[in-house]
Structure 1
């Protein structure tokens, strides 16, 4: 399982989330507390917004702790909205194209979790993509396919309905409950540069963790694990709710997804 974090608020250096806190994303890449694996060493990346038509994107296959550019970039790039991810791969080779976040048009996306039988159902799901989104795919991960399916089902217009549609697709095609006990697990964060949307869902009631905290400057951080529990108050987000961060607002929308059950 991967670790991820996102920020929305007054512009700050990316290091504010990725490097500086006691349990920063960089620290979590080697010492995760709430992941199946303590080490997330299969690449990393971050997407950030400022001026321009879309996000800036930096990704690499090195473990986050061994990339000589990471500290410098995180300290020098200031942004009012960014997403960051460290990867422990479940599907797809360790290549730059398979590192998160993924980007298309103004949107960026990252995922923690798994679609365990993705190779069996990949062709069926890819056939649901319109030509432009099918051609936009660059890597081989289940995560990028989920992102493109969300785009195909109206993410740009109605994020909540897009999430409902894609979760229903994965439920319909997954083997969970139909001969296997490997669950679909999704914690996803996505942004259009104005807002951040996030949700947790699992078919077996064990959705990957996600927390939220308001900063002293009036911004918001979402993270797989609390970054600095001594200085900020962190709230564990409930599954099957779409959390939307916009300037000055924190909203939650019930997704009315199928009730998960323990395996």
Structure 2
């Protein structure tokens, strides 16, 4: 499958987590320890926020992340207080730039690890549920982009967790109508540049791995000489497919069927309960 991470906190160079950590995201693209696939070489993407009032920047490429010299140069130069990065292992859809994460709409970025099972069998029905004003922005052919646009259709910008619950409810109901067992497996991240919403959920209750950082204030007390922890700040937050470094007390595993919302230094976990929308999408 895929590996991804999302960071918020003091501005840091992207290379800190993409390249320099013990088990950096680039290392995971070659040697994932917890993924269903060891190698994730079907493209990558990074989205980051700079000017507060403008949409996030994005760099995506179909090449393997480990071999892209421009990514290494960019990661060395770019500092951001909030960014999302993703390395892809393709399933039912081709390796092409428009299928690389993160996906973007307005201020929002979205990344996904997992799959809609038997996606070709449900693709048409799901795409027809996307709001008409969002349909023209479809660029690629992947299930992840459709999940993002469905979440936007059901109100991601107003109530992110509820919109993701409704998106999952629609995907599961559509799959069940086609006789598909366990239609969805996912960890996802969605952010508007201020808050990060991450979810771990699967129809079968055996979701892909997902972790988030423990309190950086607590970590700074435990590891006062670690410059990376100090630079990130006490309110920093990382949510990611698998840990970047082996530090006791640094990570908490996100439970099954759980949403995590991080905003302004506060981190909240809540049950994730998929359900169908009360009314059809517009």
Counterparts of 1:175-254 in structure 2 under 5 Å?
175=176, 179-181=179-181, 183-213=183-213, 214-215=215-216, 216=229, 217-218=233-234, 219-230=236-247, 233-254=250-271
Retained in 1: the 8 A contact 2:4–2:240? yes
User: Which whole-Å CA distance do the structure 1 matches of 2:242 and 2:16 have between them?
Assistant: 15
Alpha-carbon deviations, 1:23-67, whole Å to 9, x = none? 000000000011111000000011000204111000000000110
Compute the TM-score of the two structures, normalised by the length of structure 1.
0.93
Give structure 2 stretches of 5+ with no counterpart: 217-228, 276-282
User: Could you say which structure has the higher helix fraction?
Assistant: 2
Question: Hey, what does 1:155 align to over in structure 2?
Answer: 156
Question: Hey, what does 2:60 align to over in structure 1?
Answer: 59
User: Which whole-Å CA distance do the structure 2 matches of 1:253 and 1:50 have between them?
Assistant: 29
User: Which whole-Å CA distance do the structure 2 matches of 1:257 and 1:181 have between them?
Assistant: 16
Larger Rg: 2
User: Which whole-Å CA distance do the structure 2 matches of 1:130 and 1:91 have between them?
Assistant: 24
Give the CA deviation at 1:118.
1.4
Retained in 2: the 8 A contact 1:111–1:188? yes
Question: Hey, what does 1:120 align to over in structure 2?
Answer: 121
Alpha-carbon deviations, 1:138-184, whole Å to 9, x = none? 000000000000000000000121011111111101149x6454541
**What secondary structure is seen at the aligned counterpart in 1 of 2:69?**
coil
Retained in 2: the 8 A contact 1:13–1:77? yes
**What secondary structure is seen at the aligned counterpart in 1 of 2:259?**
strand
Give the CA deviation at 1:91.
2.6
Runs of 4+ in 1 over 3 A off after TM superposition: 178-183
User: Which whole-Å CA distance do the structure 1 matches of 2:257 and 2:181 have between them?
Assistant: 20
Compute the TM-score of the two structures, normalised by the length of structure 2.
0.87
**What secondary structure is seen at the aligned counterpart in 1 of 2:134?**
helix
Question: Hey, what does 2:82 align to over in structure 1?
Answer: 81
Retained in 1: the 8 A contact 2:41–2:63? yes
**What secondary structure is seen at the aligned counterpart in 2 of 1:131?**
coil
Counterparts of 1:5-154 in structure 2 under 5 Å?
5-51=5-51, 52-154=53-155
Give the CA deviation at 1:224.
0.4
Give structure 1 stretches of 5+ with no counterpart: 259-263
**What secondary structure is seen at the aligned counterpart in 2 of 1:69?**
helix
Count of aligned residue pairs for this structure pair: 257
